[in-house]
Amino acid sequence: MGRDLADVLISEEAIRARLAEIAAEVDAEYAGKDLLLVGVLKGAVMVMADFARALHGPAEMDWMAVSSYGSGTKSSGVVRILKDLDRDVLGRHVLIVEDIIDSGLTLSWLVANLRSRGAASVEVMALLRKPEAAKVAVDVKHVGFDIPNAFVVGYGLDFDERFRNLRVVGTLAEHVYSS
């Protein structure tokens, strides 16, 4: 799989260290509160698993699956719920755990959706953020890394369902797109 990467943007160690920093901030912010982590499948699986374990305080986890991308690399702008949360978020303090914010379309829709269900608070933690995301009027409380505007894979992120299990975040080599 290593041959398929053009560049490693973020190493395993850097991800681990940054998640520990964010977890310490989140522990302080939610001390004494009932925290619900909401992960967006499938991309956020790795960040949720590592981030949740970096927290010291209690947190529940729930998952949603939404469609925003087809099998290519462009955002469709259409968000559809493929799998909804298992439990009600009414009165809960929700922290959305996202892999990456690109156009921000998925995220702004998700924040509005969870607020409309009566969550006590809805905040966002995203491992990666691309420059376009700055244009979206969604307040992202915690960002792991700001990255350049390139298509990235690994650590949960895929290209046509491949490369999610890479331990690093990287850009793809040209031959992967053209094959």
Catalytic residues: 102
Task: Name the residues that contact ligand IMP, by CB under 6 A.
Answer: 40, 43, 68-69, 75, 98-107, 151-153, 157
Q: How far apart are CA 36 and CA 108, in angstroms?
A: 18
Among 62, 152, 163, which Cα is nearest to 114's? 62
Cβ of residue 164: shortest distance to ligand IMP, in angstroms?
9
Between residues 26 and 100, which has the closer beta carbon with respect to ligand IMP? Answer: 100
- Closest distance of CB 75 from ligand IMP, Å: 4
Distance in Å, CB of 157 to ligand IMP, minimum: 4
Query: Which one-letter DSSP state was computed for residue 31?
Result: T
Q: Is the dihedral of CA 100, 80, 69, 39 positive or negative?
A: positive
Task: Report, in Å, the least distance between residue 61 CB and ligand IMP.
Answer: 17
Range 126-135 burial, b when 16+ CB lie within 10 A, else e: bbbbbeebee
Sheet architecture: strand order including 169-172: 5-10, 169-172, 152-153
Q: Which of 117, 104, 7 is nearest to 62 (CA)?
A: 117
Nearer to ligand IMP, 30 or 104 (CB): 104
Q: Please say which residue, 19 or 111, places its beta carbon nearer to ligand IMP.
A: 111
The smaller minimum CB distance to ligand IMP, of residues 103 and 113, is found at 103
